[in-house]
Amino acid sequence: MATKPLNLSINTETRRRLDELAADRGVSMSQVVEDLIDEAWGSQEHYFLKQTAFQSFLGMALSIAVARKTLGPEVMADVRQQAADAAHKLFGAPPEKRYADHTPQQNDPRIEALFRAFEGD
Give the tens place of pLDDT for each residue, 63-94: 888 888 899 888 988 988 998 899 889 989 87
The 3-state secondary structure of the chain, one letter per residue:
CCCCCCCCCCCHHHHHHHHHHHHHHCCCHHHHHHHHHHHHHHHHHHHHHHHHHHHHHHHHHHHHHHHHHHHCHHHHHHHHHHHHHHHHHHHCCCCCCCCCCCCCCCCCHHHHHHHHHHHCC
pTM score of the predicted model = 0.41
Query: What is the overall mean pLDDT for the chain?
Result: 84
